[in-house]
């Protein structure tokens, strides 16, 4: 039986230029492949996230996979998918609607800026455990939990200098991701994001984590519009708005690869 060709792209999301931000694979489908096939494609290409996008009559369905698991929400791969749709599929579209495991996600395009409309996930205070500080190798001032564990540390310098202990993190299976965050020096707040249990030891720029970080910092800074930076090796900038039960997360995208995969 012959193989089928699917259009496939790699996009650097939340990036001002190539080789910055977070890489995402985007695979365009007419209909869903089996979940194990999509998981295998994500593992084969070994990017932090691969988005699978299927066109419907008036919207697009979207699913996201790390190299090891399907996830319920991914920001950078949604931004990358909106870039691909508005550039190569529905050319010039300034509003794109995705239906996902996390509900309806609208993306608005203004020039080269893509703004994601995501659910807000305000975290709740939890008790600081000894393993939290050991996991990030730094003192933890506060701990908060939604999908991800949010660890507040003293400064941007501390965030930058974290040397994570991935062996400890892998044992902290009650959290999907672990975020270290602090008030920023030339941004409102900064963060780093770790998910070794999902096959991504440190994610470059994590839109979904900002569903939690935005309301967390909006409350602390008493402001609803903020600029955030993720201090990974590649780095990325996110333009953030706190909007009640929703958040808006904007950034730019740069195309790295366009081609086909054969499955």
pLDDT in tens, 72-130: 999 999 999 999 999 999 998 999 999 999 999 999 999 999 999 999 999 999 999 99
- Give the span between the Cα atoms of 234 and 114, in whole angstroms: 19
3 state SS of 159: helix
- Which residue matches tokens 């996110």? 238
Radius of gyration from C-alpha coordinates of the chain: 18
Indicate the pLDDT class of residue 2, thresholds 50, 70 and 90. confident
Residues with a known catalytic role: 49
Q: What is the mean pLDDT of residues 220-246?
A: 97
Paired tokens of 252: 């730019």
The CB density around residue 155, as the number of other CB atoms within 10 Å, is 14
């Amino acid at each position: 039986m012959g193989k089928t060709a699917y259009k496939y792209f790699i996009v650097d999301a939340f990036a001002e230029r190539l080789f910055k931000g977070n890489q995402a694979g985007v695979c365009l489908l007419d209909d869903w492949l089996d979940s194990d096939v999509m998981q295998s494609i994500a593992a084969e290409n070994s990017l932090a996230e691969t988005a699978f996008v299927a066109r419907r009559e008036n919207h697009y369905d979207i699913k996201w996979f790390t190299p090891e698991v399907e996830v319920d929400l991914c920001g950078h791969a949604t931004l990358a998918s909106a870039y691909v749709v508005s550039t190569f599929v529905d050319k010039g579209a300034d509003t794109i609607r995705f239906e996902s495991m996390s509900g309806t996600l609208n993306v608005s395009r203004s020039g080269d800026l893509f703004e994601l409309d995501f659910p807000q996930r305000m975290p709740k205070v939890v008790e600081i455990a000894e393993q939290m500080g050991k996991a990030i190798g730094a003192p933890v001032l506060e701990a908060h939990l939604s999908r991800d564990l949010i660890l507040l540390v003293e400064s941007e310098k501390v965030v930058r200098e974290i040397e994570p202990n991935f062996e400890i993190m892998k044992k902290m299976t009650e959290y999907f991701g672990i975020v270290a965050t602090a008030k920023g020096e030339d941004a409102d707040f900064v963060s780093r994001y770790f998910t070794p249990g999902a096959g991504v030891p440190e994610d470059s720029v994590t839109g979904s984590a900002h569903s939690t970080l935005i309301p967390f910092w909006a409350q602390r800074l008493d402001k609803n519009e903020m600029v955030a930076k993720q201090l990974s090796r590649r780095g990325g900038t996110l333009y953030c708005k706190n909007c009640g039960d929703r958040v808006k997360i904007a950034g730019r995208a740069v195309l790295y690869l366009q081609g086909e995969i054969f499955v």
